[in-house]
Structure 1
């Protein structure tokens, strides 16, 4: 029997065994943290060894295999945890950050870009490893896409509402649908650029470039008919 993870991935029940003791749980947390740091440094699951994980975490090979069937299962859990943490951060940001309560389309557009640039920089290695696995017909990138659908569901309606206000048009059903398509299509284009920069970094759109955020903010504003910030 299989189960479905929060990100829609089917997992085998043996993929991870729940630790029964506090010390065991602390070891699990350390292994996941060690794996996260190592995958960010390498960007390739093939370069990540179980020995490196347990050595960095201060645990053992036996402790690893008591919780995970293999390295792929470990990466699945690691990625799910990263996506859930990212979603929680978005929920808090959208609720508390003044930019997301401003109802100013330009401010919201800039906030969208800031979020994605920070997210891609923070997860550069994880995303690179996930994209490489996806090329081997493994569904790891589907997990990222699923998380992004939830992000867009939180962000897009706010930007659509502000965009309608900035254009002085009534946000009826047809108008809202048209604006939502416009926003989603433009954001998809921006995400394609960021994904490309993950796979082809360094390049003109290097994730490390100081110009990246402002350049993308201008592109998004112009695509949505907004004045440059």
Structure 2
């Protein structure tokens, strides 16, 4: 079962069946890509028009309703698709960027914060729409939370091991694990706030955001500043 299918099952729905014909499959992909772009631009599901989706995708209203019951179902499929891509992106980052192979806890800490900042900037509109929708549909933010849990499972052990090695045997890994997760909760909370209330003292587009969060994260886990 894929991550997206698991999320769909958890919400009590099944993933959209892949169309058998190549042309129909291409139309489905274009609709999902069009919807993704429109959601990212508006950040509000209420402003998402099915007419705009099919016009941008070059398909039809009939093609949309052959695949999706309504706009909410469409949004959930787009959201699941983006979250699955996000996990793949993180795995590629961890495999490809030299920072993730560093034994320096500070380098890993900065890389972690940088990864979250990029993710929120890349998905700002989708996150904003998900947060707004969660006021009426409590489960709307679940896909993002589930993805965050998967990301934490990949990143936290790397940070804990590096900090443990830096501090020596006196440091307990269980305590370090808590410190890292709590510090990341603070980082994520500030990023969520920036999505909802941007612009603010630390706008999501501000150049000061990433270094500020990196400094705060280091302080929370007891690492020297840059």
**Would the TM-score normalized by the shorter structure come out above 0.5?**
yes
Shift of 1:42: 0.5
Q: Name the counterpart of 1:205.
A: 202
Shift of 1:157: 0.2
Shift of 1:170: 5.6
Root mean square deviation, CA, Å: 1.4
1:219 aligns with 2:225: no
CA distance, structure 2, for counterparts of residue 91 and residue 170 of structure 1: 31
Normalising by structure 1, we get a TM-score of 0.93
Moved over 6 A (4+): none
Shift of 1:18: 2.5
Q: Name the counterpart of 2:140.
A: 140
| 1:93-132 deviation digits (Å, cap 9, x = unpaired) | 1122211111210000000111000000000000000001
Shift of 1:5: 3.0
Q: Name the counterpart of 2:28.
A: 28
| 1:77-99 deviation digits (Å, cap 9, x = unpaired) | 00000000010111121122211
| 1:32-181 equivalences in 2 (<5 Å) | 32-169=32-169, 175-181=172-178
CA distance, structure 1, for counterparts of residue 5 and residue 219 of structure 2: 38
Give ranges in structure 2 of 5+ residues lacking alignment.
none
- Number of matched pairs: 222
| 1:17-66 deviation digits (Å, cap 9, x = unpaired) | 43111111111111011001100111000100100000000000000000
Give ranges in structure 1 of 5+ residues lacking alignment.
none
Shift of 1:205: 1.5
If each structure's helix is expressed as a fraction of its own residues, which one has the higher value?
A: 2
Normalising by structure 2, we get a TM-score of 0.94
